[in-house]
Every structure is written in C-alpha cells, then in structure tokens.
Chain A
Amino acid sequence: MARARRLTVAARARLRSRHLRPLDVPVWLLGMLVAAAWAAPFVWMVSTSLKPAGQVMTRTIEWLPRRVVLDNYATVLRYPVATWALNSVVVAAVATALGVLFGAMAGYALARLRFPGRRVLFGLLLASMMIPGEITVVPMLIAFIRIGWASTYQALILPLVANVLSVYIFRQFFLQFPAELEDAAIVDGASRMTVFWRIAFPLARSSTIAATVILFTLNWNSFLWPLLVTFDEEMKTLPVGIAAFAPSVGTHTQLEGYGAAMAAITILSVPSLLLFLLLQRYFIEGVKGAGLTG
C-alpha cells in the first residue's frame, strides 16, 4: 500500500501543479466532466453487471443499481471461466517472463556489444515493426496445425516470446548506461554474462518493471492469435472465451442478457485495470519510451 502511494505521489509530481485562476474554472469543470465521461463506460459496465435481470433494460438511464445482486456473476461462472482465466494467467505470465528476459539480453547486446550481424539484426527489428503481425498469423496457424500443436500452451505462448518492444525498452536504457560500472568488473576478469546478471540487469529495474507491465497487458489482452489457434473450449484464453458473449459472435448475450455480458467483461478487465492503477507511472513511462522508439 505504502509502495502504491509512493508511486502515485511520484506520478503526480511529474505534472507541474498550478493554481486554478477564477477565469479558468469553467474550462476546468468542462475538462473534468469530459474525464468523467471517459471513465463512464467502466462505471456503466460494473453498474449493469450488478443489476438484477429485470432492471437492466430501463427507459431512463439508471447509473446505480436499485438493488445489488451477484446473479450475473453466477451466470457467467456457469461457463468455464475459471479454466479460461487459468489459461490466460499461464500464457501471459510465461510469455511475459520470457519476453522480458530475452528482450533484456538482446537489448543489452544491441546497445553494448560489438559483433558481426548486429546491424543486420537491428535492421530486421526495425523492418518487422512495419509488418502487421496479422500477416504472420495465417502461415503460423498452418504450421502449428501441421505439427499437431493447435490448441496447446506451446501454440499460445511461443509466438509471444520474441517481443520487439521489450528489446527496444532495454536497448534504450542500456545505451545510456555508464560503461565505467562494467569496466571495473571486466578488468577483474568477469565474463560478459556475469557482468550482465550481476551489474547491468539489476540496475535496469525501472525498465524491467515497465517492460513487464506493458508486455503483461499486451499478452493478457492478446486476441487474434488465441482466437485462431484454440479449437477446444478448455484451451481458450479469457478474452477469447468471453468474446462469445458478443451478440455478433456467440449467443450468450441473447441467452443471458447484457447483465451477464457486463459481468463477464468486468471479470476480464479487473486484472489489467488493477495493474494499471497500481503501476501507472511505469505504464506511462514505458509506453512513452516505446512510442518514441517505434
């Protein structure tokens, strides 16, 4: 808790704080109103999810449920939501851990080490950012079906582990990393790997957190690939399973109503929203860094 508070304080400190002049009050009010409207869909989602079936469709807007019930959540839990959630946790956690680790190592090498092929690799990274990932999806699907890996954890995780964004975040950090810190260790005869694990990587803590939160969110939200590669209900990830509540995709909403659909997406959005609220500063710094590099 104290930790979270410190982060919010730090985040707030980054904004120049200025007093409100009387003339600015209307603008400020309008702006805060828009901000509230921007958050309103989330309020509406949670509120609808807590309403009893008869009170979801109303003639006028009712922002708060007249009576709070958990019926909709019970309805959603009749579907294999726990299995989907477990799949999502496994996939997102493993893919993120590997993505951050591999990204840190590659980012370090690209920033600090000279070896033949370094420029070619970096060029490939740059070029791959121009290629929509969706293009690789069809051939990859064929390949995974052919080797019999469709609907497996390997299929869900492996394509996510080489994350270019992660490499960028770490490369950016290590480019500014003072060489003196490592030189002493190198002179003492430490290998590059030792230097990386003992000195460089531990000092890249902020980049590690930034890469972790961003990659976790991306992986947790990943949609098209798991949608294509999972054929069994038990191997679906949470977003794919819950997408069947969309009227255009599945029939869950016709069957269960919007209350259940809102309960389903509340369950789906809680982990990423919570992570964001707690680690907001790292999110924003990381996204900024990633955006500036590509």
Chain B
Amino acid sequence: MTRAGGGRRRRIDWSGYAFVGFFTVPFCLFTILPVLFGGYVGFTEWGILGTPKWVGLANFREAFRDEWVGRAFLNVLLYGLCIVPGVGLLGLVFALFVNQGWPLSALARTCFFAPTVVSAPVIGLVWVWMLDTQFGIVNQSLAMLGIGPVPWLTSTRWSLVGVSLASIWWDLGLPFVLFLAALQEVPGVLYEAAAVDGANRAQQFRFVTLPHLRPTVSLVVTLQVIATMRIFSQVYVMTNGGPAGSSSSVIHYIYTTAIVRQLLGYASAVSILLFGAILLVTLVQRLLIRERGTWLGRAA
C-alpha cells in the first residue's frame, strides 16, 4: 500500500498533541520559560530575596567594565585553543588507529571512550591527584625525563593547562566515536582503486580519507567549541577557578556571581552575553565551513 494520495497525507492527526504533550509541557516549563525569564532578569537588579528592579542596560554596561568578566571570557578562549585542537587531533588519530582493525582494537576503543561516561568529580579528583606537584604521577614521570616539578594546578601560569589536560581526557570520547563512524563509512572500493593507481598510504589518507571526513571535522569542531565555551564542572572541582581567577570560566563566574554573591540580575546578564557569544561563534563557523547536509542541516 503506497501512502494513498494527498487526502490521507493532508488529514490532521489530532492525537499528535497527546503524543508530544508529555514532552512539551516540561520542555516549556524547564527550558523555554527559564530562558525567557532569565532574559528578563538580566535587565534587573535582584538578590535572592525581594523583587527584581528594572535597571535597563546597567548590568551589561557593568559587565563590559568588569575585568573578571573579561578574564573569564579570555580564559574560555584559551581553553578553546587548548582543548578543541587537542580533542580533534587525538580523536582523529585514535580513530584511525582503531579503524585499522588490528588485534585488540576493540579493547583500545573501550579505553578511549571510557572516560566520557564518568562524572565531573571523578575526572576532577583523579587529575588533581595525578597533577599533584610533589607526589602526582605526571610530575614523577616528567622527573624521570629530567623535567622539574610543574605546579600544574597551584600556579596562575599552569592552572588552565592542567584543567585542559583533564578536559581533553574527558571529552575525547564523542569526537573519537564520530570519527570512527565516519571512517567506517568510507567505501573500501575507493582504497582499492587508489591502491591500484599506485597511491601509498599517505596519499590514500590525503585523497580518499580526508575528503570523506570533512563534514565530521566541522561537526566535531562545532560541538567541541560549544562544549568548551560552557566549561564548568571540571573547573569547579579541580581549581574552583583559582589561583586568582587564572582558570576561571564564564559559567564559573556566573555560578560565583549568582550563588556566592547572590547577584541574580547580574549573573543572568552575563549568561545572556555568553549565549550571544555562542550564537555568534556558531554562526561564524557555519558561514566559514559551509557544510550543508550535516548537523542542524541534516536534522532539519
């Protein structure tokens, strides 16, 4: 039976509302409404008690003058420069390795993906211990190479790098799996044809594999950039933003402002700025990469 004609297709399934209702009600209450409410609160002055007082753009003016906000946005940029290439390159290399199908590949795949499934305190604490200046295994291993103790999490110079190392370990799973899936979809015939034409492995990678991976690269970069702009949990657990704000992030600043200093209006304003930044970065990326048929494009 073909889906018989236009009449059938045009009929409205009223039961659709019953189906989506269960999802839509909590979705509106706990996602859409808070976003709108947060948008309003950003233009007010509000402590946890009392009522919000409309202050127009004052919060935003203050945010642009606030050196801690600037510091937090700069840190997020630095996190991006460490984590995005780290995760992207390692994810690709690990996927290429596992995709060879050599012995124990499945075991290697398990190792590479496993950190993704554990929670922030696990990541944070195990790395705090491993990066301990005196007794951590990272510094003890470096000492064997003659490299002096690095104060990973306790100096303003290194704390951001220390948190980035843990983040790369944590975040790698998704890009790794996406690259692996993309590699498995490259038709084997293409490699055979390339081999017949006398292409060596490097050339096969350059002319067969890489072109097929382009949509995945853009997907991975987009997802990781957004994830990194939202970095919080590992920062909170590992350094709580310190020392002296050197590893703080925008969400960490929002958290401190809202919970510790209880400036809800100001915290919401900074949230709006972050949302704006994410939107801007995403749009720029989509313009630069111009990949149709992937991510949002494919879903829509």
Residues of A within 8 A of B (CB): 8, 11-12, 14-18, 20, 24, 27-28, 31-32, 34-36, 38-39, 41-42, 44-45, 48, 56-58, 60-61, 101-103, 105-106, 108-110, 113-118, 121-122, 124-126, 128-143, 145, 158-159, 161-162, 164, 167-168, 179-180, 183, 191-193, 196, 217, 220-221, 223-224, 227-228, 239, 242-243, 245-249, 258, 261-262, 264-265, 268-269, 272-273, 275-277, 280, 283-284, 287-288, 291-294
With A243-B121, A292-B298 given, is the CB distance from A20 to B102 under 8 Å? Answer: yes
Main SS of the interface on chain B? helix
With A58-B135, A159-B30 given, is the CB distance from A109 to B19 under 8 Å? Answer: yes
Report the bound CA distance from A273 to B122 in whole Å: 11
A243–B120 contact, CB under 8 A?
Answer: yes
B121–A246 contact, CB under 8 A?
Answer: yes
A142–B236 contact, CB under 8 A?
Answer: no
Q: Which of B57-65, B66-74, B77-85, B274-282 contacts A (4 or more CB under 8 A)?
A: B274-282
Report the bound CA distance from A275 to B116 in whole Å: 13
With A109-B19, A124-B32, A161-B26 given, is the CB distance from A284 to B299 under 8 Å? Answer: no
CB distance from B91 to the nearest CB of A (A): 12
- For the complex, is B232 an interface residue (Cβ under 8 Å from A)? yes
Knowing that A38-B169, A44-B130, A121-B20 are A-B contacts, what are 15 other residue pairs whose CB atoms are under 8 Å apart, sorted by A's residue number? A12-B106, A36-B111, A106-B23, A106-B24, A114-B9, A125-B27, A134-B274, A139-B34, A140-B30, A161-B30, A193-B18, A246-B238, A276-B113, A291-B177, A291-B223
- For the complex, is B245 an interface residue (Cβ under 8 Å from A)? no
- For the complex, is B146 an interface residue (Cβ under 8 Å from A)? no
Q: Which residues of A contact B105 (CB under 8 A)?
A: 15, 17
Q: Which residues of B contact A48 (CB under 8 A)?
A: 129
CB distance from B68 to the nearest CB of A (A): 17
CB distance from B27 to the nearest CB of A (A): 4
Main SS of the interface on chain A? helix
Q: Which residues of A contact B18 (CB under 8 A)?
A: 193
Interface string of B270-300 (1 = CB under 8 A from A): 0110110011001000000000001110111
Query: In this complex, what residue of A is CB-closest to B119?
Result: A221
Residues of B within 8 A of A (CB): 1, 3, 9-20, 22-24, 26-27, 29-32, 34-35, 37-38, 41, 48, 94, 97-122, 124-130, 132, 134-135, 137, 140-141, 169, 173-174, 177-178, 181, 184, 219, 223, 226, 229-230, 232-233, 236-240, 242, 251, 254-255, 258-259, 264, 267-268, 271-272, 274-275, 278-279, 282, 294-296, 298-300
With A162-B26, A268-B119 given, is the CB distance from A15 to B109 under 8 Å? Answer: yes
CB distance from A217 to the nearest CB of B (A): 5
Q: Which residues of B contact A58 (CB under 8 A)?
A: 135
Query: In this complex, what residue of A is CB-closest to B98?
Result: A15
With A138-B254, A249-B237, A269-B118 given, is the CB distance from A115 to B23 under 8 Å? Answer: no
B230–A269 contact, CB under 8 A?
Answer: no
Report the bound CA distance from A206 to B32 in whole Å: 30
- Among B26, B251, B264, B296, the one with the most A-chain Cβ atoms within 10 Å of its Cβ is B26
B119–A121 contact, CB under 8 A?
Answer: no
Q: Which residues of A contact B120 (CB under 8 A)?
A: 221, 223, 239, 243
With A61-B137, A138-B41 given, is the CB distance from A276 to B117 under 8 Å? Answer: yes
Question: Quick one: which of B128, B254, B279, B298 contacts A134, CB cutoff 8 A?
Answer: B254
B117–A162 contact, CB under 8 A?
Answer: no
